[in-house]
Structure 1
Amino acid sequence: MTNQTSPQTASTSRVPLVEKRSIDWVPNSERHGKLWHQAPLWFLGNFQYFSIPIGFIGPSLGLSLIWTAVASIIGIGIGTLFMAFHASQGPHMGLPQMIQSRAQFGFRGVLIPLLATLFTYLAFNIADTVLLGEGLNSAFGWNPTVVAVTVAIAAALLAIFGHDWVHKIFRILLYVSFPLTVLLTLGVIFGGAGGTPPEIDYGFSIVAFMAQLTAAAAYNITYAPYVSDYSRYLPSTTAPRKVIAAVFFGASSSAIWLIILGAWLAIELRATDGLGGLQLAGNNVFFHLGDAVALLSALALAATMGMNAYGGMLTILTGIDSFKSIKPTRAARVITIIVLTVVWFSIASIITTDSVGTVFAALTLMLYLLVPWTATNLVDYFVVRKGRYAITDLFTPNGVYGTWAWRGLAAFAIGFAFEIPFMVIPPLGDWSFTGPIAAALGGLDVSWLVGLVAASVAYLVLSRSLDLDRERAAELRSDRELAEIDEREAVNS
């Protein structure tokens, strides 16, 4: 192999305090992950403050609680299905998701979806910083700037320590926050959380319904670029269906729960801020319950920012390595995370907008960018190549996947182009955009569904000319090289 990020060996099987891997392949001797860790990781990934304002979107457009719940359940179901299928790639390949995407887009062509993915990480952490600053100021009167600095440092540290610490911190937060949120929810159900009949007549409209569905679908689709980053330490023998089931259950159940709770807060308590709404409802149930739930929800969101920073680091290193060979050292990880943190903090510090608008705009843009990628990647993995890849060739521009893989790039471009006439981009400052077909449909946004179908069909058609026999020979050679690495690992450990 010609590239320095090709599979490398380790001298010990002991799990290090600070993760040493980044964009390189994880040998079988280091696959210390446990399947049961997946469900709590992704449950808490959505069991935090960001989920609450998603439930505000439908009611802000006049959608009733029931219809907001229906739209959210459908949207989360769709988005989580895509996310969970991506998760199954981690144990099988032992790679970060965007390294695997070199098979569809090429060693350097992967830069195109990498830019879309990097935008996702930055958008999430920028929006999270704004939400936390507004929310903790509203709930506790804390200085938004101090909040932003604190969560940025905490998120960066979690990302630096890496994969195992993300899993550990998420489980700890889940064990503490889950029973308290159950108590709050029971208070809502049995009338102890307060609330009065709404002053406006909430009902149904297809535009509001699709806006809520789209935001909910986008929420978990945006995990797709890095969900396998957190499953790549699972043993390669892990059954894909078990990974899919664990991730789907974890990520969907918590999101549906809190989004519907958010809709109730917006309608019954007239909440305009998620943390403030949680605090008020919980304190109505009994003294200081709301304070505790709000604080834990904020901590969970800060931890999720660490997860985003970790994924952003992998994305940046993959992009750099695609043009200049780098060695994926701990120092490279740390420096990249620090730079990424400075960038998102700097941008967030100049954002002044309402939380609902921030969430809706961020999710919409992320969905438009990621749908063509997820369609291309999943069609390639499950239909075209059926999970068979020459892993070592993903680490060199001279491998069977080439430098610029025109089929994947064309499918991505076609999918995105088909989205444009159907787009409805929420206001960003003084700017917004509604495509001509969306305008003709009264503002109905189905662009992501159109892009999904267009990219999938385009890639299927274009891939009919792939020389899979040539790839099989490269795959066999790659498997032999990886087997040799595993043998050395067994001896060293």
Structure 2
Amino acid sequence: MTTEASDRPKARPGAPLIEVRSIDWVPDNERHGRLWHQAPLWFLGNFQYFSIPIGFIGPSMGLSLGWTVVASVLGIGVGTIFMAFHASQGPTMGLPQMIQSRAQFGYRGVVVPLIATLFTYVAFNVVDTVLLGDGLGSAFGWNPALIAIVAAAGAAALAIFGHDWLHKAFRVLLYVSLPLMLILTIGVIFGNAGGAESSTQYGFNWGAFMAQFAAAAAYNITYAPYVSDYSRYLPSKTKSRSVIAAVFFGASSSAIWLIVLGAWLAIRLGATDGLAGLQLAGNTVFVHLGDATALLSAMALAATMGMNAYGGMLTVLTTVDSVRPIKPNRKARVITILVLTAVWYLIASTITSGAVSTVFSSLTLMLYLLVPWTATNLVDYFLVRKGHYAITDLFTPKGIYGAWGSRGLFSFAIGLLAEIPFMVLPQIGPWSYTGPLAQALGGVDIAWLVGLLVTSVAYFLLSRSLNLAAEQAAQVRSDQQLGREKEAATAGH
């Protein structure tokens, strides 16, 4: 798990232009992250075009503006809690999120949730590419194919430069876009953005409410597999509650803001494309405000694609390393990112469904797949092992966590199976599915809540047989070894 001397980043100041670290442990002397960077990173992560169509989901099923707001606020609140608690693992562990998951699933067994996680990254970037092509094509008349190429290239470049540059790019985009979006929102509130009462009858129904709730919850839960990837450079003494608070308020506030704005655009402006609706509302407030806001929102989404590519790279390298140990160097990072870019671009070029259905379908699938993993990981970290791990043993199948973690794998499987009767899968091409128990509930989707409960209880009960006392010796050995590595790294500078 150590890096070669020639591949080690230099101590601060003077970090390398292209990040060196990938799936390896980050020593304390390289922990240059700052707590205040977390809030703007995750604020902008949701302060972009993808958030707006989520507000279209409830209204497209007849849900009123008020009830869409309630469902969205509740959903974002629930989903962000899970996301934020994962973020607190970064400073403690100094590892990418999915490497840490080897403690629950085993060195090789972690490949199972890794497949679900990789699907999330690719699906997000496929949907983002479709949204950018549709949105910028509708708003400015640009060629969707060219947009997809430019967005893919920009996202790949940002992911290749890595952690520090992603943070910087997000802060710059936030500083520029925030004032414009604030002015537009004030215009909406005071009636200067146009809009009128819709002739469509909106109201309340449980199916639409739970669909909006689930989509909003899924939005930030899907960040869970890589949120700690961006907190792992924080000093190890950073307080967990501080990280949780920064990530929670950053990620939730922007998501709620734009989802609610999206619901208003759908109901009061009759918008069918979020970016075009944003442009129309802004330009109604004053000339070119909408043009600038829409363009910056699209750029923020492209930057988020870079974040997804970075997380996808870590997931692929973790998967490969779980099968055959590799040296996680710059070359491996760059090649992996380029391959992922080609994959999501090619898939996106075949998507023909509308933006709202594409967003809803992808979020629903991601939620079903990730909930059993997030439940297992959080129960292990906060209730079972309580943040105490032998880090060096996460990098070998012969360590205390073994090659296959039967407790984690069984809990994941039983949680996923428990969801199936309750699933309400939206139309995906010619195919859709509503489970028998979901039909009995009138089409209300509670599958992910069932999966969350079943997985959590299963893993907690199965983990009662763990010999945590025996793991303490391995933790001491690991800490000593990491201490020697840190001293050697420091001496090398």
Secondary structure in 1 matching 2:23: coil
* Aligned residue identity for 1:220: N
Counterparts of 1:91-490 in structure 2, within 5 Å, are: 91-490=91-490
The letter of the residue matching 1:357 is S
| Paired amino acid for 2:417 | A
Higher deviation after alignment, 195-204 or 358-367: 195-204
Paired letter, 2:10: T
Q: Distance in 1 between matches of 2:488 and 2:326?
A: 23
Structure 1: runs of 5+ lacking an equivalent: none
Measure the CA separation in 1 of the matches of 2:492 and 2:285.
57
Letter in 2 for 1:302: A
| Contact 1:7–1:392, Cα closer than 8 Å, also in 2 | no
1:33-87: CA deviations, max 9, x gaps? 0000000000000000000000000000111111000000000000000000000
SS at match of 2:426: strand
What is the CA–CA distance in structure 2 between the aligned matches of 1:466 and 1:127, rounded to whole Å? 41
Q: Is the 8 A contact 1:7 1:26 kept in 2?
A: no
Per the alignment, residue 57 of structure 1 pairs with 57
**Residue identity opposite 2:397 in structure 1:** P
Counterparts of 1:444 and 1:225 in 2: how far apart (Å)?
27
Task: Note if contact 1:11-1:489 (Cα within 8 Å) is conserved in structure 2.
Answer: no
Instruction: Work out whether residues 9 and 20 of structure 2, in 8 Å CA contact, stay in contact via their aligned partners in 1.
Output: no
Deviation at 1:8, TM superposition (A): 6.2
1:349-377, Cα deviation, whole Å (9 max, x unpaired): 01101000000000000000000000000
Query: What is the CA–CA distance in structure 2 between the aligned matches of 1:435 and 1:258, rounded to whole Å?
Result: 32
Q: Distance in 2 between matches of 1:252 and 1:346?
A: 32
Q: Tell whether the 8 Å contact from 1:6 to 1:392 is kept in structure 2 after alignment.
A: no
Q: 1:223 Cα deviation (Å)?
A: 0.1
3-state SS in 2 of match to 1:322: helix
Amino acid at match of 2:405: A
Secondary structure of 1:426's aligned partner: strand
Offset of residue 413 of structure 1? 0.4
Cα offset for 1:7? 6.4
Q: Is the 8 A contact 1:7 1:25 kept in 2?
A: no
* TM-score w.r.t. length of structure 1: 0.98
CA offset digits 1:145-195 (Å, max 9, x no partner) = 000000000000000000000000000000000000000000000000000
* Whole-angstrom distance in 2 between the partners of 1:135 and 1:12: 42
Indicate the SS of the match to 1:491: helix
**1:11/1:331 CA distance change after superposition, 3 Å:** closer
Q: Matched residue of 2:399: which SS?
A: coil
Secondary structure of the equivalent of 1:425? strand
Match of 1:12 in 2: 10
Q: Is the 8 A contact 2:368 2:419 kept in 1?
A: yes
- For residues 90 and 486 of structure 2, what CA distance do their matches in structure 1 show? 17
How far, CA to CA, are the matches of 2:288 and 2:429 in structure 1? 37
Whichever residue aligns with residue 279 of structure 1, its letter is: Q
- Structure 2: gaps of 5 or more residues: none
**Residue identity matched to 2:369:** L
1:308, CA displacement in angstroms? 0.1
Correspondences of 1:42-81 after superposition (within 5 Å): 42-81=42-81
Query: 1:440: Cα distance to partner?
Result: 1.1
* 8 Å Cα contact 1:126-1:347 kept in structure 2: yes
Residues 405/141 of structure 1: CA separation in 2 closer, same or farther (3 Å cut): same
In the alignment, the residues of structure 1 paired with residue 370 and residue 305 of structure 2 have an alpha-carbon distance, to the nearest angstrom, of 19
Within 1, Cα distance between the matches of 2:108 and 2:316? 13
Report deviation, 1:469.
1.5
Amino acid at match of 1:66: G
Contact 2:9–2:16 at 8 Å: present in 1 too? no
- One-letter amino acid of the structure 2 residue matched with residue 178 of structure 1: L
Distance in 2 of aligned mates of 1:36 and 1:490? 26
Secondary structure at 1:388 match in 2? coil
Aligned equivalents of 1:465, 1:6: Cα separation in 2: 32
Q: Secondary structure at the match of 2:433?
A: strand
Deviations 1:379-406 (A, max 9, x none): 0000000000000000001000000000
Q: CA deviation at 1:143?
A: 0.2
d(CA) in 2 for partners of 1:348, 1:306: 16
Q: Structure 1 residues 8, 84: closer, same or farther in 2, change over 3 A?
A: farther
Change (3 A) 1:74 1:11: closer
Task: Output the CA distance in 2 between the equivalents of 1:289 and 1:274.
Answer: 15
2:10, 2:16 within 8 Å by CA — same for their partners in 1? no
Q: d(CA) in 1 for partners of 2:455 and 2:177?
A: 40
Contact kept in structure 1, 2:9 and 2:15, CA below 8 Å:
no
Bigger CA drift: 311-320 or 197-206? 197-206
> CA offsets per residue over residues 415-471 of structure 1, 9 Å max, x none?
101000000000001100100000111110000000000000000110011111121
CA RMSD of the aligned region, Å? 0.8
Q: TM-score, normalised on structure 2?
A: 0.98
